[in-house]
Structure 1
Amino acid sequence: MSRLDSMLRRLTAQRDGLNWAAEQIRTMEGDVLDMGLGNGRTYDHLRAILPARRIWVIDRVLQCHPSCIPPDQDFLQGEAKPMLVRLDTEGRRIALAHYDFGFGVKEKDVAEAAALSPAIARVMVPGGIIVSGQPLAGFEKLVGPEGIPPGRYMFYRAG
């Protein structure tokens, strides 16, 4: 498979997974959290499919497309763990989280996801959904929407 085909499959799986997750939380209270803003495509999609929800964003740096800059009060710039602690301390609760942090080194990315899992769990509402590009620890693993190959994206429910 070409790298272009692989990227298209990844982006399609991400979109379909987020749409599925948004449907799962329709009647649930809580905000949305995008961990890893990048260029802002996912944040922009979350705004489109969940327009009534507050969407928090965590990233080390703000370097997204100008049309995808979150409001200052919703952008938490810095390392993930202190930003998750801040959300928890402020009593913010998340119904849907998207995890997309990464250094581009698989072993390092998997280790970071596992290390951040307890902090993510503390901000989630019971039953909240997490869509992740990396394996997380301590959550109920879910079968996501049809058509997404196993391991392409992971889906979890918070306890």
Structure 2
Amino acid sequence: MSRLDSMLRRFTAQRDGLNWAAAEIAGVAGDVLDMGLGNGRTYDHLREILPDRRVWVIDRVLQCHPSCVPPEADFLQGEAVPMLERLKSEGHKIVLAHYDFGFGVKEQDVAEAAAMSPVIASVMAKGGIVVSGQPLVGFEELKGPEGIPEGRYLFYRA
């Protein structure tokens, strides 16, 4: 598979997974969290499909497309663990989280996701959904939507 085809497959799985997760949390109170703003595509999609939810964003730097800059109050700039701990200490509960951190080296990415799993769990509302490009630990793994190849995107319930 070409890298272009792989990227398209990943983006499709990400979009379909987020749409599925948004439907799963309908009627459940809580905020949304995008971990890894990057260019802002996922954040833009989340605010479009969940217009009545607060969407928090965590990233080390703000370098997204100008149309995707989150409100200053919702952008937590810095390392993820302290930002997640801040959300927890302020009493915010996340009902849908998207985990998209990574170095691009599979072994490092898997290790980081595993290490961050407990702090992610600490901000999740009971029954909340985590959509992740990396395997997390300590969550109930869900099947997710039909049509996404196994392992392409992962779905968890807190």
Q: CA offset at residue 83 of structure 1?
A: 0.3
Structure-2 residue corresponding to 1:38: 38
SS in 1 for 2:57: strand
Structure-2 residue corresponding to 1:83: 83
Q: CA offset at residue 46 of structure 1?
A: 0.2
CA distance in 1, matches of 2:79, 2:142: 28
Q: Does 1:116 align with 2:130?
A: no
SS in 2 for 1:156: strand
Structure-1 residue corresponding to 2:146: 146
TM-score (norm 2): 0.99
**Structure 2 segments unaligned to the other structure (5+ residues):** none
SS in 1 for 2:155: strand
Structure-2 residue corresponding to 1:55: 55
SS in 1 for 2:114: helix
- The aligned length equals 158
Structure-1 residue corresponding to 2:69: 69
Off by >3 Å, runs of 4+ in structure 1: none
CA distance in 1, matches of 2:133, 2:2: 20
Aligned amino acid, residue 75 of structure 2: F
Aligned amino acid, residue 53 of structure 2: R
- Percent identical: 80
Q: Does 1:133 align with 2:133?
A: yes
Q: Deviations over 1:107-150 (max 9, x none)?
A: 11111101110000010000000000000000000001000001
Structure-1 residue corresponding to 2:102: 102
CA distance in 1, matches of 2:111, 2:102: 10
SS in 1 for 2:51: coil
CA RMSD between the two structures: 0.4
